[in-house]
A and B are shown apart, each in its own frame.
Chain A
């Protein structure tokens, strides 16, 4: 697993994911924070099948979406403490934005 902002919570999240969500063997969950109106990392390398979980640590709502060819999705908006997860199932570059705050952007490189 790869976790970025909070290793303690990340460990819990991954354990739960392995037990209940049936992640493919070898798939990793990456946990990112949305804090201070920014994603906790600007660039992330993952593999096909990995999941990325976005956790809102700000006291206001965020959104996560992408209109990229490699993965088009809209996780909706969620408030403080909320989280949403996306599975990256194709290789390519996924440009991720917060629809609420256009200044919030990051890129996920999905490798085979």
Chain B
């Protein structure tokens, strides 16, 4: 029977997304093992917050609405803007009345795939995280009683909440659920690297493929030791030896949440998807470029106090560092049109 012939089987597998294994002598093609870097099509979600169009749209409205801040001038999108890779382009964030905060705004991109949220992991899920900036007096500084009273009488929001969470109150729970549902739609999974993984061997340049191999090789860059598949994070915490940790009264990061000595100065491994859009880098914004980041790791960090055992001098050549940077530049999903929400009138 024709359909049982090998070529027909290969065609079927190809249609299902399984490319034939690359020839062993083709060093520029992705291997079956490389496919571990492919993300699930959509991020997981809690059982009680399955995404619906109404929930996502309500979340988008709330995310972009500066009226959720006390002075009605700061929205979630102020620090997590699609114009700047869902971050803000600043070294560290600016909050209430432009107060300079201690840490960079992490990107929202692919945050739905993370198993722990924020630089210090103090929130487990996007639902748990969403109200934090509104409640912080350093950030949106919002009076939540006043917020929910206003949302409850605003006809547009009243209808949007009723459509998204029928029969439920307009409160912290539904507000944070809606914002989380929207954030889970901010996904980067169609970069040149992703297309290369799916079988398009032309999607990355030879230099970018070489950079990926250096990135993943434990004996070379060992970047994937922490920036693990598939979302380029281990959801873990590391002190990477930044200069700022050597200053007086440094930010102790995760240690403030989990008082285990080895966590002093440790911060969460961020995703690297769309990373070329989110300079400057590190939680303190101290690296201006991706090359600065790679050079930092190549030196084995600056401050050795409580340094992660994973951070050691790497002996990468300048060319190898450029290859790794070129690879990270292949992690950007091409820009797509983004439709802003229509916000309810006052």
Q: Which A residues have a C-beta under 8 Å from some C-beta of B?
A: 37, 58-61, 63, 65, 67, 74, 76-80, 82, 98-103
Q: Is the CB of A99 within 8 A of B237?
A: yes
Cross-chain pairs A/B with CB under 8 angstroms, 6 sampled: A63-B263, A79-B310, A99-B254, A101-B234, A102-B116, A102-B258
Residues on B with C-beta less than 8 A from A103 are 115, 235
Chain B 222-235 per-residue mask, 1 if CB under 8 angstroms from chain A, else 0: 10011010000011
Chain A residue at minimum C-beta to C-beta distance from B218: A59
Q: For the complex, would chain B's binding face be called helix, strand, loop or mixed by DSSP majority?
A: loop
Known contacts A59-B218, A79-B310; is A100 also within 8 Å of B236 by CB?
yes
Q: Is the CB of B261 within 8 A of A61?
A: no
Residues on A with C-beta less than 8 A from B237 are 99-100, 102
CA distance A103 to B116 in the complex (A): 9
Chain B residue at minimum C-beta to C-beta distance from A66: B260
Chain B: number of interface residues, binned into ranges:
20 to 34
Known contacts A60-B222, A60-B226; is A102 also within 8 Å of B309 by CB?
no
CA distance A78 to B308 in the complex (A): 8
Given contacts A74-B262, A99-B262, A102-B116, 11 further A-B contacts (CB under 8 A): A59-B222, A61-B308, A76-B261, A78-B309, A80-B218, A99-B260, A100-B263, A100-B308, A102-B121, A102-B258, A103-B115
Chain B residue at minimum C-beta to C-beta distance from A58: B225
Q: Is the CB of B262 within 8 A of A63?
A: yes
B283 within 8 A of A: no
Q: Which B residues have a C-beta under 8 Å from some C-beta of A?
A: 115-116, 121, 218, 222, 225-226, 228, 234-238, 254, 258, 260-263, 266, 308-310
A60, A63, A82, A103: which has the most chain B beta carbons within 10 Å? A60
Closest CB in chain A relative to B120 CB, distance in Å: 11
Closest CB in chain A relative to B25 CB, distance in Å: 27
Partner of A99, one of B226, B234, B258: B258
